Amino acid sequence: MKHKYIFNPVFISSLLTLLLNDQYLKYAYHNWVTGKLSDVFGIIVFALFFTVFAHNYKKSIFIGTAILFSFWKTPYSQPIIDFWNSQGII
């Protein structure tokens, strides 16, 4: 029953909100609210998605997501971001 994390209203509504925000709202109303919407709903979608693959580690995934997101928002992550962007992978 590990797919319950993807087929639930929280995941689906978070994913739809994230897509709407990233595809429309950010361009129509570029402000701090649209940035925070991406952050909040992106964290929810990310954590629930990876819980499907390792549902026995749900708590660790949620804590790890919070730690990684916090690191990602600091200046210390910039060298990693710059390296990734220089590779032209995505």
**pLDDT tens profile 20-44:** 999 999 999 889 999 899 999 999 9
Residue 48: the pLDDT is: 94
**pLDDT at 12 > cutoff 90:** yes
Whether 69 has a pLDDT exceeding 90, the answer reads yes
Q: What value does the mean pLDDT take over residues 48-60?
A: 92
Confirm if 26 and 52 have CB atoms less than 8 A apart.
no
- Per the CB < 8 A criterion, the answer to whether 54 and 46 are in contact is no
Encoded tokens for 2 = 């590990």
Does pLDDT of 2 surpass 70?
Answer: no
Q: What predicted TM-score, i.e. pTM, was given to this entire model?
A: 0.82
Q: Is the pLDDT of residue 3 over 80?
A: no
Rounded CA-CA distance 68/60 in Å is 12
Nearest to 72 by CA among 27, 34, 42: 42
Gap between the Cα atoms of 9 and 7, Å rounded: 7
